[in-house]
Every structure is written in C-alpha cells, then in structure tokens.
Amino acid sequence: MRSADAAERPGIHLVDVRKAFGEQQVLDGVTLEVPRGKITVVIGRSGTGKSVLLKHVMGLLRPDSGAVRVGDEDLSSLGARALRQVRFRFGVVFQHAALFDSMDVFENVAFPLREHGMVRTSSGRDRRMREPEIRARVEQLLRSVGLEGAGLKPVDALSGGMRKRVGLARALVRDPEFLLYDEPTTGLDPIMTAQIDNLIRSTQDENPGITSLVISHDMQATFRIADHIAMLHKGQVQLRGSPAEFQSSVDPIVRQFVEGRVDPPTES
C-alpha cells in the first residue's frame, strides 16, 4: 500500500453513476476518476449531491445505474460482508464530526482499534492490538492533530475545531488506504480552517499511498489542498482538472463558483 508503485494502482472510479430519490435526479451520470496517492476535491453548491456521491463511494448508497470501483473492487458486485471489508480500508471524516458523546477524546480515537485494530507479527500473522500499542498509537495521532494531552476531555465539551481534529485522528488511526472528508472545515474560523487544511495536506504527503477524496464548497481551502478538482453541477461533473485549470477556466458556471459570485448564470 505504501510502496513506490502505489500511484499505479487504481484509486476510486465512478462510471456514469445515476441516483434519484423519488422524482429528484441527484446524480445524473457522474463519471469521475480519483487517482491513488493524490487529493481530489469535489466542489459544488449546497444540495448538488456531494454527500450523496460520497455515500456511493462508501457503499452506503447503491447507484440506480453505473459503477463504483474502489481499488480493484466493483462495489455493485459485493455482498454485505465483502462491502464491510472494503469499508475497513476507509477512514472517514464526516460532515458533522459524528463523535460518540458518551466517550472521552481518547476513547473516540481508540474506538476503531478496539473494534478491529490489527498488527502484523514477525511470522506474518495478524493479531489484535494490545492495550499499550493502542495507547501509543492514539497518543501519536492526538499529537499529530495538535490535541496532545486532551485525551481525557469529554467530547461534548470541545469546540467545533477540536471535534473536527478528533474526527480526523479517529479516521487516521487504522492507517486507511482511502481517506474521505465531507466538508472538514465547515463552520470553523479561518485560522482553524487553515490548520485543518494543512493537516489534510500533510497527512497526504506523509502517506503517499493514501487516496484522498475531499468534499468542499470552500474555494480557498480547495486551492490550498487539491491535486485535482472536480465540480459537480446539476448531477454531472462540470469540470475536472488541476487547480490551475480551474483558475483559468472560462466556463461561466465554473467561474461563478470560483469567484463566489451570486449573480447569474446560476440556473444556466
């Protein structure tokens, strides 16, 4: 997973994905390649289906038609059990932190390790992590997100920025192959936003085998972290390209979003 050829292995690939809820066609033929070893940011206005797209990648929603491939697995061909196995390879930072309020910070981050944390022994067998290993790993993660010493705090006493960082530490604790972030900085102040963005970027740079997919509607943050950007509009990918290609795009729909204007061509 962390080898030099990581970038050649498949990342995430959506092919002509369609999804409707009742009359509402939310995804209307989304084709998107999310290459391994890079950060791809999906942008788009509120309600365009970004979270719905992410749920397809996680196998929480099934497309009406089209394919979702994660690594070398085609999710549509998997049963519930195999799907769970694929999900173990994901780390997810949810839009609304989704922490366990009854647990303290340490227990929240340790949770995935207690559920299914494994280490490989010298004989090549997997065994459950022991308590001191869990402790060391959690403390290392808390340090890396700037929450050293905060382990015993109850999570319902934390600020929004701290909650996001706990969520990020928890997403990383099992060394995921795919990292998914749903609006990781929404509701944070600009300084905390920049810190979380730096954390997302440094996590990627320190773990080059990871494939990151970030949902955002913040252009500044997007330009700060993205290797690739895809803009979702009216159920389809309006443009996919590098940050430079977005900066120089003359597509009025892209321009409006990049510049954050509220005037037409909103409904074009």
Ligand X SMILES: Nc1ncnc2c1ncn2[C@@H]1O[C@H](COP(=O)(O)OP(=O)(O)OP(=O)(O)O)[C@@H](O)[C@H]1O
Smallest distance, ligand X to C-beta of residue 21, A: 3
Whether residue 204 contacts residue 210, with contact meaning beta carbons closer than 8 Å, is answered with yes
Give the residue with the Cβ less far from ligand X, 147 or 229: 229
**Omega before 264 cis (within 30°)?**
no
Is 144 an interacting residue with respect to ligand X (CB under 6 A)? no
Q: What angle do CA 186, 52, 28 make, to 5 degrees?
A: 125
Q: How far apart are the first and last CA of the chain?
A: 43
Give the residue with the Cβ less far from ligand X, 93 or 109: 93
Give the residue with the Cβ less far from ligand X, 10 or 187: 187
At 227, phi and psi to the nearest 5?
-90, -40
| Rg of the chain over all Cα atoms, to the nearest angstrom | 19
Whether residue 253 contacts residue 238, with contact meaning beta carbons closer than 8 Å, is answered with yes
Give the residue with the Cβ less far from Mg ion, 31 or 51: 51
**Of 52, 169, 210, 230, which lies in the binding site for ligand X, with binding defined by CB under 6 A?**
52
Smallest distance, Mg ion to C-beta of residue 186, A: 9
Smallest distance, ligand X to C-beta of residue 77, A: 23
Tokens of 111: 């949770």
Smallest distance, ligand X to C-beta of residue 52, A: 4
Give the residue with the Cβ less far from ligand X, 27 or 39: 27
Smallest distance, Mg ion to C-beta of residue 47, A: 8
Give the residue with the Cβ less far from ligand X, 26 or 138: 26
Is 260 an interacting residue with respect to ligand X (CB under 6 A)? no
**Of 14, 17, 30, 50, which lies in the binding site for ligand X, with binding defined by CB under 6 A?**
50
Whether residue 43 contacts residue 222, with contact meaning beta carbons closer than 8 Å, is answered with yes
Whether residue 249 contacts residue 241, with contact meaning beta carbons closer than 8 Å, is answered with yes
Give the residue with the Cβ less far from ligand X, 50 or 174: 50
**Of 2, 3, 8, 47, which lies in the binding site for ligand X, with binding defined by CB under 6 A?**
47
**Of 49, 117, 151, 161, which lies in the binding site for ligand X, with binding defined by CB under 6 A?**
49
Task: Pick the piece of the chain touching ligand X (CB under 6 A) from 43-51, 64-72, 123-131, 161-169.
Answer: 43-51
Q: Where along the sequence are the contacts to Mg ion (CB under 5 A)?
A: 51
Smallest distance, ligand X to C-beta of residue 7, A: 28
> Interface residues for ligand X in 211-240 (CB under 6 A)?
217
The three-class DSSP label of residue 73 is strand
Q: Which contacts qualify for 26-32: CB closer than 8 Å, 24 or more apart?
A: 26/52, 26/235, 27/52, 27/53, 27/56, 27/63, 27/235, 28/234, 28/235, 28/236, 29/66, 29/235, 29/236, 30/66, 30/232, 30/235, 30/236, 30/237, 31/237, 32/230, 32/237, 32/240
Using CB under 6 A as the criterion, which residues of the chain lie in contact with ligand X when the complex forms? 21, 26, 44, 46-52, 217
